[in-house]
């Protein structure tokens, strides 16, 4: 596995070894031992999530103020621009974001540790996103950071008005959001 650092030290792009020929391809989307060696941590994934979205959808920026989730995100079909925002108050990168394109061709994955808000924009006509989480979904602790907060300044590179859920439309700006004290 190739590990690519991002501008935020704890968020990593992971490129698995892909074996392909005229029949198609094969790769290990997750191997606990390889992940631990590559990333240097020993996560305990407890939940797998799968979403389907159409082009122009923006999902997020979501996080859980208690039971925070680390996420390993990949795309099974289509293409997204995946984003993580550091919400760890004591971090040198607090309030900063990092993003990368994940798609079914590059097979890249984004490791987002606990303490970050996560979201993505769908760039292809459709996309199926799969991600592993290190804690269970806890709706009473879920929070939404405003996807277009100018204080964060995410460059989503959108060419149309995004399709947003009501929850995502009501996200809070960073200045009003609950954040993590670790």
* Residues that are catalytic: 62, 131
pTM of the model: 0.95
Q: Residue 121 and residue 163: Cα distance in Å, rounded?
A: 9
Residue 95 makes CB contacts below 8 A (sequence gap 6+) with: 85, 86, 87, 151, 152, 174
- Mean pLDDT value of segment 89-97: 97
pLDDT averaged over every residue in the chain: 96
Name the residue among 100, 95, 117, 115 with its Cα closest to residue 181: 115
For the CA atoms of 169, 63, 82, 150, the dihedral, rounded to the nearest 10 degrees, stands at 50
Q: Residue 108 and residue 127: Cα distance in Å, rounded?
A: 14
Q: Residue 11 and residue 13: Cα distance in Å, rounded?
A: 7
Q: Is the pLDDT of residue 176 over 90?
A: yes
Indicate the domain borders of the chain: 2-176
- Mean pLDDT value of segment 58-63: 98
Tokens representing residue 70 in the block: 């680390």
Q: Is the pLDDT of residue 40 over 90?
A: no
CATH architecture label of 2-176: Sandwich (2.60)
- Mean pLDDT value of segment 84-112: 98
Q: How far is CA 80 from CA 34, 52, 88, 108, 145, in A?
A: 25, 11, 25, 11, 19
Q: Residue 81 and residue 19: Cα distance in Å, rounded?
A: 25
Residue 101: its pLDDT value, please?
98
Question: With contact defined as beta carbons under 8 Å apart, do 43 and 35 qualify?
Answer: yes
Chain segment 133-147, per-residue pLDDT in tens? 999 999 999 999 999
Least confident of 32-41, 45-54, 80-89, 138-147: 32-41
Q: Residue 106 and residue 116: Cα distance in Å, rounded?
A: 24
- Mean pLDDT value of segment 93-118: 98
Residue 20: its pLDDT value, please?
93
Residue 43: its pLDDT value, please?
85
Q: Is the pLDDT of residue 180 over 90?
A: yes
- Mean pLDDT value of segment 79-94: 98
End-to-end alpha carbon distance in the chain: 29
């Amino acid at each position: 596995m190739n590990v690519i650092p991002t501008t935020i030290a704890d968020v990593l792009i992971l490129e698995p070894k892909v074996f392909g020929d005229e029949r198609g391809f094969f790769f290990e989307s997750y191997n606990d031992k390889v992940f631990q060696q590559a990333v240097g941590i020993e996560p305990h994934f407890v939940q797998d999530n799968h979403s389907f979205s159409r082009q122009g959808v923006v999902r997020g920026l979501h996080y859980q103020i208690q039971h925070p989730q680390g996420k390993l995100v990949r795309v099974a079909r289509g293409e997204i621009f995946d984003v993580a925002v550091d919400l760890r108050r004591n971090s040198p990168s607090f309030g900063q974001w990092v993003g990368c394109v994940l798609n079914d061709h590059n097979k890249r994955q984004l490791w987002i540790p606990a303490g970050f808000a996560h979201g993505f924009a769908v760039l292809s006509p459709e996309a199926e996103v799969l991600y592993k989480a290190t804690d269970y979904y806890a709706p009473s602790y879920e929070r939404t950071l405003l996807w277009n907060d100018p204080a964060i300044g995410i460059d989503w590179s959108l060419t149309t008005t995004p399709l947003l859920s009501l929850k995502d439309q009501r996200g809070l700006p960073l200045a009003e959001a609950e954040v993590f004290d670790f």
